[in-house]
Amino acid sequence: MGFCVITGAASGIGLDLARIAAADGHELLLVDRDPALDGVAANLGAGSVLADLATRGGVDALCERLGARVPDILMLNAGRSLGHAFGQQPEDEILDVIETNVTGTTILARRIAPAMAARGSGRILFTGSIVGYMPGPFQAVYNASKAYVNSLSVALSHELSGSGVTVTCLMPGVTDTRVFERAGMLDTPVGQMKKDDPADVARTGYDALMAGREQVTHGVMNKVQATAAEVLPAGMVAELHRRIAEPK
């Protein structure tokens, strides 16, 4: 087994990815800005870096901890959502979504992927989302950020083809994590509907990563939704999304 770095590991899918990787015998370095990370790391016998990857300083702190060491596995799971009308969302929260989901993810991948390729081996997992295929009224910035992640992961997969580095994008659907609470979406239909178990989603992503698959979507209904979103007119998809994401 190898050395595995997991971002956004204090809760949700990231926590379950960490549990699976620990059970599989990997050495773990967990990263999150949530102070709960230290307890998670202690329980799993893992190292930890308490850092905000939405900031360049947070990315620097992780890279300084790594030093010259190159992970065998990098799981880029850190992310956040934001609900309600675009015009009512505070600008600092909009920026935090973009800087966490897009900027931090991109810069960390940029710093580690070339070193993996130079070594000739490595595995990278991005946590994207099926909403990356859906224009998302009342979740507009989040959906757009996940469209970026979905696209970036596939592009890197093909850039790194033949290098010994595989890139996998896990694209969950609605998952039972704190993301809807943190996004202020508990007053929406999607915030109240039945959700996938994050442990099951993490297992799907981990297995795809280890198999070197380029993309994976957890669950039959999520696959149907993702396929429909690619086929139907964008305006129709946006209207369907509005119905589940608009606050009551």
Distance of alpha carbon 165 from alpha carbon 149, whole angstroms: 18
The counts of H helices and E strands in the chain are 11, 7
Q: Which of 133, 142, 148, 206 is catalytic?
A: 142
Among 36, 96, 56, 111, which Cα is nearest to 48's? 36
Among 143, 156, 67, which Cα is nearest to 110's? 156
Quote the distance between the C-alpha of residue 106 and its chain's center.
12
Cβ atoms 188, 244 nearer than 8 A: yes
142 catalytic per annotation? yes
The enclosing H or E element of 230 equals helix 220-231
**Alpha helices of 160-197 — where are they, by DSSP H?**
179-182, 189-192
Which residues are known to be catalytic? 142
